[in-house]
Amino acid sequence: MYGAGSTMTNTQQARPGMGVGRKLAVAAGAVVLVWGGLWLALPGVIARQVQDKATEALGRNVTVRSVEVSPWSLAVAVRGLEVAGLPGQAPALSIERLYINASATSLLRWAPVLDALELDQPIVRVRQDAPGHWDFADVLEKLQQNPEPKDPEAGLARLALYNIQIRDGRVELDDQVAGVQHKIEALQMQLPFISTLPSQREVKVQPQLSMRLNGSELATQAVATPFDEAHRAQAKLQIQQFDLAPYAPYLPASVPLQLQQGQLDAELLVAFEQVEQPTVQLQGSTLQVSNLQLQDRAGQPLAGWSQLKVELGDTRPLQQQMRVAAVSLQQPFGHVHRRANGEFLPAPAPAPAPAPAPSAAPSVAATDAAQSIAASAEWKLLIDRLDVEGGWASWRDEMGQVGAALRVDQLQLQARDLAWPMGTDAQWTLAAQLQGEDRAARGSLRSSGKGGIDQGQASVVVDKFDAQAVQAYARQWIKLPVGGLASLTADVTWQSGQVQATVPTLAVESVALGRAAAPEVAWTGLQLRNLQLDTARQQVLVEHVGLEAPRARVQRNAQGRWMYEQWLQPVAGAPAKGRETVTSPAGKPWQVLVQDMELAAGQVELTDASLGDMPLAIRLSDVQLRMQNLDSVKGTAQAKLSARMAERTGRGGWGKPGSLSYEGDVQLDPLMTKGRVQVNALPLQAFEPYMAPHLNVRLVRALASFDGTVQFAQRPKGPQMQLQGQGRVTDVHVQSLLGDAQAAHAVQGPHAATALAAEDLLRWKQLRLQGVHVNLQPAQPPHIQVHSTELQDFFARVVVLPEGRLNLQNLVKTAQPEGVDTAGAAAPAPAEQAPAASAAPAAPSARIDMGPITLQGGVIKFSDFFIRPNYTADLTALQGSLEAFSSQPVAPGEAPALAKLTLDGIAQGTAQLHIDGLINPLAQPLSMDVRAQVQGLDLSPLTPYAIKYVGHGIEKGKFSMDVRYQVQPDGQLTASNQLVLNQLTFTDPVEGAPTSLPVRLAVALLADSHGVIDLNLPISGSLNDPQFRIAPVVFKIIGNIIRKAVTAPFSLLTGAFASEDDKSDIAFEPGHSSLNAQAQTQLQQLAKAMNSKPQLKLTLVGQANGATEAEGWKRAQLEQLMNGPKAESDDEAPPERSDKQKLAALKQAYRNTVKDRPRNMLGLAKDLPAEEMQALILRDMVIPATAWPDLVTARAQNVRDYLLAQGVDPGRVFLGNAETKAANPATPSVLLNISVQ
């Protein structure tokens, strides 16, 4: 070449005009020659180099169908480029045409400069055959085997690329793991210029990209300067009708959601700037997701919407700032389902095991930087406008026994200026409808407001919220169905955590707890007006609370359980008894102030079946309650309450109601009240079931009334009460139950059925108490004052039951354990006496001050079923009075104050009854001086008593009584009982009577010559003696009188009632028949009584006893021998013998009687002293057999003769047979036997 250069130089020198042209021709020829060579040689070279180098680098067979080279334009076109796939698969990459047009300036810039880079119909095939494993994994491994070392100080690669184009590209992705295939078709991309050369740094490139992804069109445009210092870029991405369903399988298995369908439309405008603080700005972008439907892993619908459109404003993700110009959500819906196990969604599939952590941990600096950025950064979200239209959500709850199903429909939400963190300028309006499972309306909600978390204001309107919506949840606590409608209008403001709310109206209407036809609790309307709540002051103010027509049925069953115990569901997991509970210290209490509270037209029905066969059933109707200025902290209010009360009748209806009312001030803690009480005709019989377990009576009717004031306060030491007013109890009707049933057993004949029925026990028309004053003070005795008392038209039934008890004794039931024999059971041993300190102090006795008591129109009906036939008597026209008396104790030594008593009436319609005197029923100790008189009571009605006790009926007779009882404060009783029986006449003995007594004899003994029996029975004793009882003493005295008619008739005859010596015989000296002085006195009294009682007759029976009277008979005979024979009469009595004559008679009797007389030494009879002679006579005297009959006859004759001498009619005195009448007398006497003619 160098030679050629010299020739050219010489030629130029030789022929200058020809040298330049020739050189140019040579050069052009050389160039053509080179280009031609390259055009012929390069295609093959390039094809082999591409195939060899690419196959070696990729580890896959790379083939090229042809290569075209245009050396003159520096262009290369490679056709049919293919990268083989895995065995048996289509090529992984195929390019129909790859066109590269280099620029000659590459030599000048010393960097590749391409005027064009074009790819026609590129096809990429990718397959995932295992999770995380793709079919090009071997290529990646091959490329990573020999990576080229990178200079860390090297900058960006020097290059310039122009007119980069991809036409009709295609990507096929076969995801065998997810079971889906994805296709990118019609891929078109234009990138006019990319340059890192300094001369081209300000050249802008406008790239464009479009494709069809799984049938959805995507298009992008961008303008960028990616390689200048600011790295600015702008891009636009358009996505149309992008189907999201094919990508559902890529949701992780741990996510409990499935994408069923959805379409994405987007137009994103992104501006990038890579500086010290990189920025990415999205503004004017629009995202739209249409027809989205999500379902859970069980395939059940979950959520979705018709359209969600988001218009972005100035959004800077790298600065964590997002501004949304508008959000529009159309027809969103959701299905929320809580299952029986408490889970809202089916359990997701278990997540795959995490990949092993990389061996090299990230640098500490990088970790700290990331944490500091995360800690310092906070997302800010601004939403200028949010619109939600036509939304709905359904709720189904199957946990436990709930079974709830609700639906929120017609959800409308408009919000403005939303921000996160929340600002203070947000505005919103909200509206929704609540529906039940049957799609029936259950209420609506409207709300609007402005503000944020820290402060704001809102209005809420709830219209006709139906309790049926929460019925299923209510069943967790209450078994009964709940019905009702609630409406609310409220304005709420909040600032710095404090809330103020104003509720102009709150209404809860048509409430029913239980069956709608017969609810347990119900009301027509509950109205709250102008409620104000202030959390800062912890105060609730209510202007008015109104409850209209509340109704309630309060019931207790036979087992004693109240109805609410049956309403409530059993509580599971209740804390164990005795477990300690931790309570927080009490803070400032909330204060509730109610200016006016009113309850109108209320009704309460109370039924108590726990009382046995007689359940309680009352009804409170027309209940009116008015409370003003109610303060929950002070617990004070002014209250006014009124109601009407009626009891259920036997026919199932309701009786005539009474009324009650209260008006006054009330304080709850401590409980205090002061006001006026009015009760009018309140039916006390309604509460009879509470008395039935304790009383054997039936309260048929009793109406109570009261008008007065009450003042009550619960003090620390006890309650304090003052009650003043007027009271009355009218139309009282009390029937006996137990007494009449028992009495019926004693009734015979047609009256038995009547006795079995309930009989009146007490009745009165009116009991009026005037000036009632009750004063209760802690630790003080109660003080009760009654100014006056009046009892009108009263009736009482007194019955002696078949067992001998009064019916009044059986009024109170006595509890006796089953199987216990009270008669034979031994008394329990006395318990050890407890220490005095442990004994509870006795309650102080009440002080009672009673004013005058007046009785008018009283009737007492008395019946005795203890005897047969029965006896009945009446006391009628009872009226009287008792002056004022008191229980106040008197000073020591002073007499108690007694009240004057007067009572008059009529017994059995004929006898006059009068009681007067002084008495104090409340005095302690008892003190009284009372006299009672009965005049002219007919005795014939008392025949049943006479038959039972004496065996005779009463034919006629009158009875009068005058008794007086005096009781001194020391308990000493002095009583006189004057009983007068006039013309008492008994019938003949009644056959079959329990007993038969000689009452006719008793009457004859007691009655005077006019047929009048006058008995005076004095009684004395001490009431402090627990053995002393007045009635037993009286009856004992009367019984003794009757008994003495049989056992001691002469005591009655002579009036010696108190003497136990009957004097029914005339005593004689043993062996004698003459009357001594005592016998003569006794016979004088007997003769006087016989003369005053001509209906009596006397039988004399002489008595003698040879065993005891032998000595006396002998002495009597000896005395007779010494004294001489008695005269036949007093007129013929011989003169009394002298001592000499008596001695001579004695000696004669000695000689006649004594056979073995003492003798002297001569054999002659000795002269003995008189005493010795009498002893020997008595020793040898023989008693003849006729001695004793003669003696008893002589004794009876002597008594008869004496009585006759006293004027006794001889026809009324008889001698009895001694042998048969007195076989073994105790003493020498004459028996006196009284009988009636």
User: Residue 1081 maps to which CATH number?
Assistant: 3.30.1330.60
Neighbours of 905 (CB within 10 A): 21
Answer with the one of 984, 1017, 1052 that is the final residue of a domain: 1052
pLDDT 10s digits, 457-482: 999 999 998 888 887 778 778 888 88
Give dist(CA 547, CA 528) in Å, integer: 9
Q: What is the mean pLDDT of residues 483-510?
A: 92
Q: Which domain holds residue 783?
A: 695-747+754-808+846-882
Neighbours of 584 (CB within 10 A): 5
Neighbours of 1086 (CB within 10 A): 23
In a domain, 669, yes or no: no
Is a pLDDT exceeding 70 seen at residue 1184? yes
In a domain, 563, yes or no: no
List the single range of 10-24, 341-355, 587-601 with lowest mean pLDDT: 10-24
Neighbours of 549 (CB within 10 A): 14
| Model pLDDT, residue 1161 | 66
Residues 1046 and 1069 in one domain: no
- Give the H or E element holding residue 616: strand 616-631
Give dist(CA 815, CA 93) in Å, integer: 108
Is a pLDDT exceeding 90 seen at residue 186? no
CB 992 within 8 A of CB 952: no
In a domain, 701, yes or no: yes
Answer with the one of 1025, 1052, 1079 that is the final residue of a domain: 1052
Q: Quick one: CA dihedral 431, 437, 438, 443, positive or negative?
A: negative
Residues 1112 and 1225 in one domain: yes
Give dist(CA 792, CA 774) in Å, integer: 24
In a domain, 869, yes or no: yes
In a domain, 853, yes or no: yes
In a domain, 951, yes or no: yes
Give dist(CA 1095, CA 1235) in Å, integer: 9
Helices (H), 59-122: 105-109
Q: Quick one: CA dihedral 1137, 1143, 1147, 1152, positive or negative?
A: positive
Is a pLDDT exceeding 90 seen at residue 900? yes
Is a pLDDT exceeding 90 seen at residue 216? no
Residues 862 and 1000 in one domain: no
Q: What is the mean pLDDT of residues 757-778?
A: 89
Residues 1131 and 1217 in one domain: yes
Q: What is the mean pLDDT of residues 1011-1021?
A: 77
Specify the number of domains making up the chain: 3
Give dist(CA 526, CA 550) in Å, integer: 9
Q: What is the mean pLDDT of residues 507-520?
A: 89
CA 773 from centre of chain: 35
Torsion-angle region of 615 (φ positive above 0: left; ψ -120 to 50: alpha; else: beta): beta
Residues 871 and 1018 in one domain: no
| Model pLDDT, residue 661 | 95
β-pair partners for 1219: none
In a domain, 928, yes or no: yes
Residues 855 and 715 in one domain: yes
Is a pLDDT exceeding 70 seen at residue 1194? yes
Residues 704 and 773 in one domain: yes
Residues 1048 and 1093 in one domain: no
Q: Quick one: CA dihedral 494, 500, 501, 504, positive or negative?
A: negative
- Give the H or E element holding residue 1108: helix 1106-1123
Residues 1208 and 1169 in one domain: yes
HSE, CB side, 13 Å, CA atoms: give it for residue 454: 7
Helices (H), 407-554: 471-474
What are the backbone angles phi and psi of residue 434, rounded to the nearest 5°? -105, 135
Q: Which two tokens stand for residue 156?
A: 């960006």
Residues 1037 and 1069 in one domain: no
Q: Running DSSP on this structure, what letter comes out for residue 509? A: E
Tally the residues of the chain: 1237
Instruction: Look at residue 58 and give its three-state secondary structure.
Output: helix
List the single range of 625-629, 853-857, 1025-1029 with lowest mean pLDDT: 1025-1029
Residues 1083 and 1200 in one domain: yes
Answer with the one of 1026, 1052, 1078 that is the final residue of a domain: 1052
HSE, CB side, 13 Å, CA atoms: give it for residue 456: 17
**0.95 exceeded by the pTM?**
no
Question: Which of 799, 917, 804 lies closest to 860 in space, CA to CA?
Answer: 799
| Model pLDDT, residue 950 | 76
Please report which confidence band the pLDDT of residue 443 belongs to, taking 50, 70 and 90 as the band edges.
confident
Q: Which two tokens stand for residue 445?
A: 């909600």
Is a pLDDT exceeding 60 seen at residue 274? no
Residues 1023 and 1138 in one domain: no
In a domain, 1121, yes or no: yes
